[in-house]
Structures are given as C-alpha cells and as structure tokens.
Structure 1
Amino acid sequence: MTRIIFIGAGSVVFTRQLLADLLQFDDLGPLEVVLHDISRDRLDVALGTAHQLAERFGRVAAFSATTDRRRALEGADFVVNVVLVGGAAPGRIDLEVPAELGLLQTVADTTGIGGVFRALRTFPLLSAIARDMAELCPTALFLNYTNPMAMNVGWLAAVAPWLKSYGLCHSIYWTVHDLCELVGVPLEGTRFRAAGVNHQSWLTEWTHDGEDLYPRLRDRIAADPELERRVRVEIFRRIGSYPTENSEHSAEYTSWFLRTPEQIERYRLVPLWHIASDEQNLSAYEDARAALAEGRQLALEDEATEYAPQLIHSLVTGSEREIHVNVVNDGLIDNLPADAVVEVPAMVNGSGVTPIRMGRIPTAGAALNRSAVSLAELTLEAALTGDREKVRQAVLADPLATAVLTPAQIWSLCDRLTELHAAYLPVELGGQAELVDVPSPR
C-alpha cells in the first residue's frame, strides 16, 4: 500500500485539487492518505473533502487525519508539503508594513523582503519535519509546494542533503495553457519546456506539431496594444523569452513595475493584491465546510494539472512522463550558480526523478534570475550562520527594495519585521523558534 502524507492539509482548496488529481488515477493500487494539520477544524473539512472525492471518482482509499505530525509521517512513501506557517496573518504583515515606507509588493511570498521573511519563518518547521523523516520515513520523497519554493528546497538541501526533495509548481503548465488559448492552438499536441528559477523561469521551447509558437505570440501581441499592458508581455518584449508566472509574481522580481504609480497603473497591478487572495481562500474554506455539511459537491478544476499526483503515479506504476521540478542546479543550467535551486524539466518513471540538463538559458533571462538567486543565497546563509546582517543584505540584493528604499530604511524595516515575526523566526535571528539539527538517517 502506498502511504501519502499531506502536511498543512488544512489548506483546503489546494489539498482538494491535489487529492482530486490523485484519485482520478485508477491504477495506483491501494492508497493510504494521511492528512496532517495543527487545526482540527480544518482537518475535519479536509477529511470530509477526501471522502467526498473518493466517492465521486469511485476510488477506494484509506483516509485518516491527525494533528500529530510524527504519527502521520511514520512509514510514509511520499510527503506532500503545503503548509503555511502562521496562516495568512504574517503574510499580511509582509505586505502592509513595507508599504508604509512605499515598498509595494503584490504577493510577497517568493522573493523580495516578503520572500525573505516567509523563508525564515518556514525553515524551523522544515528542519523539524526533516528530523522526523530521518527517523520515521528516511526513504520517502518530500514534495514541496510551499513558498518561497527555491529557498525552501535550498534549505532542505543544506540541512538534510540525504532527503529526496523536489519542489513542484503549476505555474509553467498554466502559462502554456493560457498562451495556447491566446494564440488559438490546442494544448493537446503542444510540447513545452522551461528553465530558470521558480516564478521566473523562461519558456525555452513551445511548439505545436513541430511549429514554433513564438511567432504567433508576437503577432498576437502586435495586433492588440492592450496586451502590452501585461507585465509578462513587457518582460517578453525586453528579454525575448516568456516568463512562466503570472504578472503579480513576475512584477516583484524586477524594479520595472511597482516603483512608481505610473507604472502600476500602466501594467494594471494591484499592490497588496495577495491580501484579497487570502480573503478569497478563507471564503472558499467556509464554502467548502458548508458544502460538506449540506451534502453539496465541491468545485474542481476541469482537468488534472498538479505535478505531485503525476510524480507519484509515475513512480508507483512506472508510467513515464515529463514534468518540471525545482532542484539544486548542479550543472543543469550552465549560466546559473551550481548551488542555486533551479526549475527545469525532469523525466519521471519507475526508476525515479531525473532532471534534464538544459545547458545555457537565455543570457538576459539568467541575468534577471541572478538577483533572486543572490537573495536566496544570502537568506540561507543568514539562517545557517545566525548572522542577522545577512538578512538585511538579502533584502539589499532585491532590485525592487533598493529602487524604493535606502539601505538605512531597509535595515530599519528588517528590524521591525523581525520584531513582528519573532514567534516564528529562528532564535539565532532574533526570534523564538527553535532551529533543530537534522541528523542523517541511521
């Protein structure tokens, strides 16, 4: 029996889609799915969701839910991480407090000052999970969805190099899905590959039945001036390759868009956008709880799109497919640092996960990637060494922050966020959370 653990299963909407994609495979054999969260109420909704989906798809599986993480992890084959440390409240702080100084972000969960502090809040939990896995399920695969993706995968590679960890994100799939709709080409028959860093990878290959689709995209943009008011279209025009995340995420990776009111208006951005997104997620949770209580069917995406269920299916059944993963570079992309976490295609089958060497990515794209890579490197060094100055230096590496704030303002802002997030930050960096050592498996 394949034992799959969801950590942070109270993230009900995301867990719902992952479970739906998983349960639509009818050749996986017996499944044991364990849902873990620290919220009993959210766990109850997640468990009710799992039972409804199993009935809906005619799939037999053993489901359980527990607030005991060690009990959940024991004997796991796959550990799917969708946890959000502290819930939505800390993320709201990451958006609102910098905004008081004029540093406007849209999402604040992957790069920039929001990404730095979200990473530092998440590292103690990741270390604790890895410590438990070393004892309870050392051969399990750790499939991470939690942002900041690159920093979290990099942290696990640093503190638990024995752990088989892969970062999974649906942004590349949905980018290609939407681009195909834009140029009037069906997704079926389309071949695509992207490489770079998470939320700023570059679409290096995009063809349909052998036809390069980039010329169609350029023609489509030229025919509609309003498309030029999209962040990603502007990046594409200047860099030459299309970035693989939505405009809200993409805008935070450069100083081009959120620096002035004029740019914000031109590119139709909504500063602090993610606060509304979090409110929608809370509403979706309440809707799901009500739907289960009333016996109504839960809403799902029309198609299975998430990589974790696909990866699990390939490893269990031997079916071969290509997905995209976030892993330590180690020669996969020549013009990014070897120890950076990069996003690349990977072949998945019964033998495991094999990332594909991509060589050099577009030089201009790699140049933009390096800002995010440097920020991530400094954030990891801060947590590994307990050096608080490196937290500030990480934010200093962010092009958006330095376009708006002086170094002195950045130092002061980091001090304030450290105080506000103290409950979740490592003790060594001025917080109250224990950063445990992770042993190698016996």
Structure 2
Amino acid sequence: MSFKIAIIGAGSVGFTKKLFTDILCVPEFKDIEFALTDVSEHNLQMIKAILDRIVEANRLPTKVTATTDRRKALEGARYVISCVRVGGLEAYADDIRIPLKYGIDQCVGDTICAGGILYGQRNIPVILDFCKDIREVAETNVKFLNYANPMAMNTWAAIEYGKVDTVGLCHGVQHGAEQIAEVLGAKSRQELDYVCSGINHQTWFIDLRLNGRPIGKDELVAAFEAHPVYSQQEKLRIDVLKRFGVYSTESNGHLSEYLPWYRKRPDEITRWIDMSDWIHGETGGYLRYSTETRNWFETEYPQFLEAASKPIDQEKRSNEHASHILEALETNRVYRGHFNVKNDGVITNLPQDAIIESPGFVDRFGINMAAGITLPEACAATCISSINVQRMSVHAAISGDIDLLKLAVLHDPLVGAVSTPEEVWQMVDEMVVAQAAWLPQYAHGVPAARERLSTSQVKTREWAGAARRSVRSIEELRAEKAALKQAG
C-alpha cells in the first residue's frame, strides 16, 4: 500500500515517534509517506532525524519528509493527525498561574476548567485553519485524527465548523481498563470485556465482565481498596465509584478538576490527591511534567537518537488507536475501540450535538459506533455540565464573543464552586490579555479588557496552590532515574 500521512505538531517528539513506530508495525504500511509539519523548525529536524534513523535501522522504504509549510505537508494526504499544543508551555503556564490567583487549583487544566477553556480558545482558530487546508489540498476522503486537547472542543469545532471528517482519539479508556484488569487479578487485558461511554475524560465503565462474568460495584470497590498502590493514588476516583456506582476512565488528578466537590477548599485538596506522581492531583502537575520532559529531551537527545537504531518490536505496538484505525480502514481487519465523535443518537441521554466518547468498530466502511447506550443518571448529569461549558466555549471561540467566553468559564463546575462572578469576569480579562498573541478572535476586545483590569477592585493573591512542586533540574532527574534503575 502507498498513501500519505501528515502529522501536524510533529515536534511533539515522543508521541510522534510512538505513532510512527505503531503504524509501521502494520506490514502493509512499509511503503507509505509520513509528512511532518510543525511551527518549530528545531523540533521538526530533531524528530525527522529520529524517524530517519528508525527507517534506516529497519531497512524500510518508508518516506519521511519535514516542513514548516503546513499546506505542503497536507498535499495529497489520506490521513491527518494533529498533536498540537497552541501557545506551547508559555501560554500553558498562564492557564495554571492566573486561575490560582483567584483560588482555582488545577492539576492539568487542558480539558475544561479555566485553563482548558482558554486552551480551547487558542486551539480552535488554528484547528479551523487546518481544516481549510485539509479541504483544499488533501485527498478527497481524508480523515482527520485529532489527538490534541481539549479533545471535545477541538473535535466539535473541526466537525461542526471545519467540515472535515474527524475523530478524536485518547488513551484514557485503555489506561482505566488496565487498572481494572490488574485489581481484579486478570492474567491478561484480554480477559476483561467492557463498555465504556460518556465524554472524553469523563467516560464511565458501565459494563464490566471478567472472563464473561459480570463485575458489580461492590466487588470493584473492594478490589481497588485492597490494592496497595491504587488505594492511595486513586482515592478520589474510588470515592466517585462508591457514590456513582461506576468507575471513571480518568486519572485522580484529571477527574478532580472536572467536578465541583474535591478541589474547592485548599485544606480539602490534599485529602483526595496523592503526590507520588503528578497525575494523581498535584497542583499544575502536568505543566511541571511537560517542562521537565522538554528539558530532558533537549539535553539527552543523543540518547533518543541512539535508541532509534533498534529494530521495531511489533510486540511493543502501543494501544494508541491511530495505527489500529488505519489498519482497519486499509486492510479491513476489524478493530474495536473507543472514539470521540458527534453524538447523533449514540448515547440516548446526552445532547445530540455533543462530542461523546463511546465504543465503535472500524473496517473498510469506516468507524461504526454502537448506538443506543444509556448512561447512569449521575454520570449523564456530570457529563451534561461539562458539555454545556464545551458548547459555549466552542461558540465563543468561533465568534470572538468575550462575554460568552466569560459565561462559559462561569458555568464550569470547579470555577463555579470557587469563584464569584466578579472574579470570573476579571480572571477572563486577565487571561485574554496575557494570551492575546494566540487569541486573534479577541483582538478587538483586548484594549477594553486591559482598561477594565486597570480599574478593577477585585482582590487576588499570589498562590502556588495546595500541592505544588518545583520543576526538577536535569541533575535531579538523572539522579532519580539512576536510583530507580538501581532499585529495579
């Protein structure tokens, strides 16, 4: 087979390498072309060198090109994969820092809450530019695979306004299933069958079967509470399981910021989180992790390049959906996964226009969703709160309506639990002014926002958060990795 895959945001080096090697695990795909594009020439050349080394080491005819000219990369592409982070770590730091001044403590801030909403405002205009180029220069029946957060908002904009055949992809369901299989004592993940449905980062395991035997709430709660690690790392998630009756896909830290109950009081936050790793609830944890990862890659690049000389191990193909979807579409080998698409009747008790994450099957006819799923009422209620925020956020990003943006932030569950309307109005003004370089749709409103900030009487505070850690130096990271290697 010979076709072209364009990867936008290919400078996300580790993730691009994973997608690349996964796809090349499909024997029929050795003759395809990967067209890499990114705004960073530096990152682009680093990842191209790594992928070229993989191609050379495995004696493959695969073609790899790299360009900062996005349209050139998209020309003739059958598949387009997006892993962009608009504004980079500079804008992301403001997504965490500014809300903290108003008492809003986020772990990740990339889906909803104040940080996720502003992240969407930066992403959506760029996503629509991608879609315009895709419609004009890619293959006629091109499929757009979006890995970028905020997943639901980006996918919503691409489908509704970009008019491109789009599917959103995430690995939260797979990771949650791995945990469940482990606590239940499964010998392999294949022993666990499940239906997981909801919206991205708020998807729920509504049907669980181990070797065909149904698993109920009480058995699952007991299994998690007996686990020596997860009982400490997933305290909030286990509490939600007890109250809702079903387990959430998302990590302890992620889930904590989508709900109005667990992060609204600083003295309560530490009760529900675990500091053994950022993903379990640390304030600004993903920002710290991303910063350390970037610094580590820049410093240790020669090691990454050397590692690329090893043969591709097909046994290590990851459970990221992209390679499996492409394999199913091109070879007709059926793949079952969980995909982010427009609802349109798939989940009966969520809005029809929402972007849902639910089971589907892929073959040469496309992605076929399992329709008619009904969520437990509490799960649906929680999802609907987020969907309402997502809808307003998408419409604000499209229209450049700063008042609608403020209303979207006001209706966010955690923001509403912490902040007053006056604080929300000022916080959004502050974030729009700080991120004006990435928010062209709000350019007309920035001068007025800046003027309002100069006369505002709303008090703020400089606060690091309830559980903040400093970014570790390269030397500290090396020492930690050496200690783990010695211990293991």
1:16–1:416 Cα change, 3 Å: same
The residue type paired with residue 209 of structure 1 is N
Instruction: Tell me the TM-score normalized by structure 1.
Output: 0.92
Residue 265 of structure 1 corresponds to: 270
Which residue of 198, 221, 237 corresponds with 1:232? 237
Bigger-Rg structure (1/2): 2
Cα distance in 2 for partners of 1:169, 1:160 equals: 20
Partner of 2:458: none
Paired with 2:215 and 2:37, the residues of 1 have a C-alpha distance of 43
Deviation at 1:25, TM superposition (A): 1.4
Q: Number of aligned pairs? A: 431
Q: Matched residues in 1 for 2:152 and 2:362: separation?
A: 20
- 1:221/1:306 CA distance change after superposition, 3 Å: closer
Match of 1:211 in 2: 213
Tell me if structure 1 keeps the 8 A contact 2:397–2:441: no
Q: What one-letter code is carried by the residue in structure 2 that aligns with 1:221?
A: F
Q: By how many angstroms is 1:221 displaced?
A: 3.2
Residue 86 (structure 1) shift: 1.6
What's the counterpart of residue 421 of structure 1?
435
Cα distance, 1:213 vs structure 2: 3.4
Matched, 1:410 2:413: no
Q: Indicate the residue corresponding to 2:203 in structure 1.
A: 201
- Using the TM superposition, give the Cα deviation of residue 9 of structure 1 relative to its aligned residue in structure 2, in angstroms: 0.2
CA separation of 1:294/1:166 partners in 2, compared to 1, >3 Å: closer, same or farther?
Answer: closer
In structure 2, the CA distance between the partners of 1:314 and 1:373, relative to structure 1 (3 Å rule), is same
Distance across 2 between alignment mates of 1:236 and 1:222: 11
1:235-250 aligned at under 5 Å gives the runs 235-250=240-255
**1:21 corresponds to 2:7:** no
**Runs of 5+ unmatched residues, structure 1:** 433-442
The answer as to whether partners of 2:224 and 2:231 remain within 8 angstroms in 1 is yes
Q: Which stretch of structure 1 is more off in the superposition, 243-252 or 421-430?
A: 421-430
- Asked if 1:283 corresponds to 2:295, the answer is yes
Structure 2 residue ranges without an equivalent (≥5): 274-280, 447-488
What secondary structure does 2:190 align onto?
A: coil
User: In structure 1, how many angstroms separate the alpha carbons of the residues matched to 2:212 and 2:299?
Assistant: 44
Confirm whether residue 356 of structure 1 aligns to residue 359 of structure 2: no
Q: Is the CA contact 2:125–2:398 (under 8 Å) kept in the aligned structure 1? A: no
* Kept in 2: contact 1:239–1:364 (CA 8 A): yes
In the alignment, the residues of structure 1 paired with residue 48 and residue 215 of structure 2 have an alpha-carbon distance, to the nearest angstrom, of 43
**Residue in 1 aligned with 2:62?**
61
**Distance in structure 2 (CA, Å) of the matches to 1:317 and 1:284:** 38
- The alignment partner of 2:21 has SS state of helix
Q: Does 1:319 align with 2:333?
A: yes
Quick one: structure 1 residues 53 and 230, their matched pair in 2 at CA, closer, same or farther if it must change by over 3 Å? farther
Cα separation, 1, equivalents of 2:142 and 2:300: 30
State the partner residue of 1:45.
Answer: 46
CA offset at residue 58 of structure 1? 5.2
Distance 2:158 2:152 in 1: 10
Map of 2:318 onto structure 1: 304
> Would you say 1:374 and 2:388 are equivalent positions?
yes
Which residue is equivalent to 1:274?
Answer: 286
Partner of 2:98: 97
Are residues 72 and 39 of structure 1, via their aligned partners in 2, closer, same or farther at CA, if it must alter by over 3 Å?
Answer: same
1:280, distance to aligned residue in structure 2 (A): 2.7
- Cα distance in structure 2, aligned partners of 1:15 and 1:363: 38
Cα distance in 1, alignment partners of residues 169 and 109 from structure 2: 19
Mapped partners of 2:155, 2:82: distance in 1: 11
Once the 2 structures are TM-superposed, how far is the Cα of residue 123 of structure 1 from its aligned partner?
Answer: 1.1
Task: Point out the more displaced range, 211-220 or 196-205.
Answer: 211-220
Identity %: 31
Residues 102-129 of structure 1: per-residue CA shift (max 9 Å, x gap): 1111101101111111111011111111
Aligned to 1:439: none
RMSD: 2.1
Which residue is equivalent to 1:436? none
Query: 1:431 and 1:82, CA in 2 relative to 1: closer, same or farther beyond 3 A?
Result: farther
Q: CA deviation at 1:284?
A: 4.2
In the superposition, relative to structure 1, how do residues 371 and 429 fare at CA in structure 2: closer, same or farther (>3 Å)? farther
Over 3 Å counting, the alpha-carbon distance change for 1:65 and 1:411 in structure 2 is: same
Report how far residue 394 of structure 1 moved: 0.4
Contact kept, 8 Å, 2:123 with 2:154, in 1: the verdict is yes
Tell me how far apart the structure 2 counterparts of residues 306 and 330 of structure 1 sit (CA, whole Å): 25
CA deviation map 1:127-149 (0-9, x unaligned): 11111111101421000000000
Higher helix residue share: 2
User: Structure 2 residue aligned with 1:221, among 221, 224, 233?
Assistant: 224
| Residue matched to 2:449 | none
- Residue 34 of structure 1 aligns with an amino acid whose one-letter code is A
Contact 1:45 1:292 in 2 (8 A): no
Shift of 1:60: 3.1
**Cα 1:45/1:404, change in 2 over 3 Å:** same
Indicate the residue corresponding to 1:188 in structure 2. Answer: 190
Matching residue of 1:389? 403
